[in-house]
Each structure stands twice: as structure tokens, then as C-alpha cells.
Amino acid sequence: MNDLIIQNIKQLILPKSTERPLKGADLDELNIVENGTVVVKDGKVVYSGPYTNDFEAKETIDATGKVVSPALVDAHTHLVHGGSREHEMSLKRQGVSYLEILEQGGGILSTVKATCQTSEDDLFKKAEHDLLTMMHHGVLAVESKSGYGLDKENELKQLKVSRRLQDKYNLDMRHTFLGPHAVPKDASSNEAFLEDMIALLPEVKAYADFADIFCETGVFTIEESKRYMEAAKKEGFKVKIHADEIDPLGGLGLAIDQQAISADHLVASSDTDKAKLSDSDTVAVLLPGTTFYLGKNDYADARGMIENNGAIAIATDFNPGSCVTNNLQMVMAIAALKLKLSPNEIWNAVTVNAAKAIDVDAGTINKGDKANIVIWHAPNHEYIPYHYGINHVEKVIKDGKVIINHDIALA
């Protein structure tokens, strides 16, 4: 006997199961089944496709008029952090740049101070609340970065919190060491601080899956980033990079050369580097919510990356300074409006490709996959990025069991 049948699905979204990320024109190919059925047994999908009544189960969910999809994947977050920075909004409205705020001791450095002053248990409570918000918005796979400690004790504290969250909720989480996220004001030099972070790599390997670095003007150069990435790979890390967010330093090209699993931001990436995506499986993780929140006019060139046969994913970049949202649905809407992505491209970018960007078994609900599923209160897959700023989730199903239910019967 099966455990669960989801029946009468108006639209069933079935991204392609693939070993490599979807690239170029393949990003616009998405199997959408009208009047679909999903059958689950022992936490796995045993059938997903057109309507059938050939199966029996202990429980049936009637999804008449609803959309069903894989649970979403948020491939770039700064989930664990102390404090908040709402006071910076007035500075931004006055036109003060992100780097200028950083030079004044704000930005990342103010969050570093707050994180260092917050206990591990209090960081856990804050991050747990934000993670549960993500889950209520349909996300069951998350990448969580450190980077607000900038020293051994506090970087490890963040990674331990991230691991505790994974253990408590049994989620598909990946943990990223982002020690070189900024340079402390008391550092003797960028190079000396970077060497300290490289020296930490063996110890953080017990807690982190990836090593990441912020390659940007005023932070770390291409040469410093390359040295860090090569050292991390020697310690067994897969590598990532915050690249070309503000200036076109060549971070995307470096990521491709280093066979990074992802390169993230990429607002200012050069045409030369974008062309290199064609021969690479490095996923370009685009963060349009950050550009939106910072009030910038120039967004990452998603269309150019796709035309160069590149692989892209979409993520929130949830953090307290430059993208204060953990609602991936909102970012899907911004991707439609500002990155000019089609609905099919967006769905692939927050499911199967986002999963490839963080190396998790997630983002698909084909036969044999984990039954991590979202039922959406929406008439079709285009409606969710169209009707922006609210939560369309009706039910979240993890390993075949409903863990979140927003179905409210109207009087």
C-alpha cells in the first residue's frame, strides 16, 4: 500500500532529472502535466505524471485547481547572522554606496560585530525563525554561509549553528565557509588576513561543504581569490566565489578556470567571461533581489548567459544588509521582471539548477526522487512569479508527509 496520492493536479511541474545543470535553451524546457497525479511510498515518488487511478494509498490529497512542484532550493543565503541593519536604509536613500557604508564601519563589518556578540544559542534561535520562514514559502533545500565572524571562534560558531539546524529539521542543507567575506579593520593587511583564513580551512572542513570568497574592489583581488580557491581545493573543498558584483574584475572567468561549483552575483561580468560559460558546468547563481534592494538599475545579464549556453540558478542572497528577504517566490518575480526570464526558466532555476549549484539531491519529483513537494494555491505555473509579494504555498510535503498546511477553509 502506498502512503500518499496527490490527485487531480491542475498543473504538475516536473523538472528534468539530470546529472549536469540545464544549460542554454534547455533551461526553457519544462515538463508540465495537465491533470496530473503523484504517488508516494516510503518517502519516495513512485509515480508522477498524467492522471491515473491505478494506485491506492492510505491518504489522498485532492489538488483540484492547484499547482504541484518540487520543493524549492535556495542556493545562496547568509542564514546565520546577528543583528539587523535597518538604519542603513536612510543612507542608501541618500545615495551612499555599499562600499562607502563598508568604509564607515557599517555594512558587513557591523553585522560581524553583532554576530560576534551573539551567543551560539541566540544565533540558532534567530536563524531557526528565518529558516522556518523559508520552509513556509516552499523551500526545503538551503545553502547557508558563514562570513560574519572573520575569526576562528565566530566562523566556527556560525557553521555549528547551520549544522544544528540541519540536524533538527533533517533538511537538504549545505554549509559554506566564507571566512574571506570582508577584511577586519584591525587586520595588518588583506594578504595577512587571507592567510589566516587559509590556515582555518583544515579545521572548518569538519563543518563546511564549500569554501567561498568575496572577490571585489576593496575586498579580495583575483590573485588573492585564486590562491584561496586553490588552497581550499587541496583541503577537499568544492569552491564558490562572490564575483563581479560591483566591478568587472574577472571573477566569473576565475570561477570557470577553477571549476567552481558556482559563481554568484555576476552583475558586472564581462562578455568574455560570459562566453566561457558555454564550456563549463559552473552554475551562475544570480541574485536579482540584491540588485533590487540596493536600488541599482543594472541587473545580471541572464539572457546573455543563457544565449552563451550557460547554466543559471536564482537565489535570494538572504542577508541583513543587501537583500533582506527570505521569500524566494518574491525573487522569482524579480527574475521575471528584471532578468527577463520565462516562467519555465525561472522554475528550472529555483529547482534542478539551484540543486546543482549546491550539490544536493533535490529539485525534481520524478520516479525514485525524494517526495519533497509543494502544493501551490495557484491556477498555473506562470501565476506564482506573476502575483508577487505574497505566499502562494498551500502545503509543504517533506519525505511524503505534510509538514506545513496553509489550507484555510473559507466560511
As a whole number of angstroms, the distance between CA 177 and CA 155 comes to 8
Q: What is the DSSP letter of 211?
A: E
Residue 1 and residue 373: Cα distance in Å, rounded? Answer: 20
Asked whether residue 406 is marked as a ligand-binding residue, the answer is no
Instruction: Please tell me whether 242 is known to bind a ligand.
Output: yes
Whether 366 has a binding-site annotation, put simply, is no
> Which cell is 334 given?
524579480
CB 251 within 8 A of CB 285: no
Does 394 carry a binding-site annotation? Answer: no
CA angle 213–353–178, rounded 5-degree value: 15
CB atoms within 10 A of CB 113: 15
Residue 16 backbone dihedrals phi, psi, to 5 degrees: -70, 135
Residue 245, annotated as binding a ligand: yes
DSSP symbol at 245: S
> How far, in Å, CA of 156 to CA of 162, rounded?
10
Q: Is 388 annotated as a binding residue?
A: no
175 annotated as ligand-binding:
no
* Cell digits of residue 261: 561549483
Q: Judge whether 162 is annotated as a binding position.
A: no
322 annotated as ligand-binding? yes
Chain centroid offset of residue 185 CA = 29
Alpha-carbon distances, residue 338 vs 52, 154, 302, 329, 406 (angstroms): 39, 36, 9, 14, 30
Q: Please, is 368 exposed, middle or buried when counting C-beta atoms within 10 Å of its C-beta (0-12, 13-18, 19+)?
A: exposed
Grid cell, residue 368, equals 525514485
CA distances from 225 to 99, 214, 231, 323 (A): 19, 8, 10, 24
289 is in an annotated binding site: no
Residue 195 annotated as binding? Answer: no
Binding-site positions for Zn(2+) read 76, 78, 242, 317
Binding-site positions for N-formimidoyl-L-glutamate read 148, 319, 321
Binding-site positions read 76, 78, 85, 148, 181, 242, 245, 317, 319, 321-322
Binding-site positions for 4-imidazolone-5-propanoate read 85, 148, 181, 245, 322
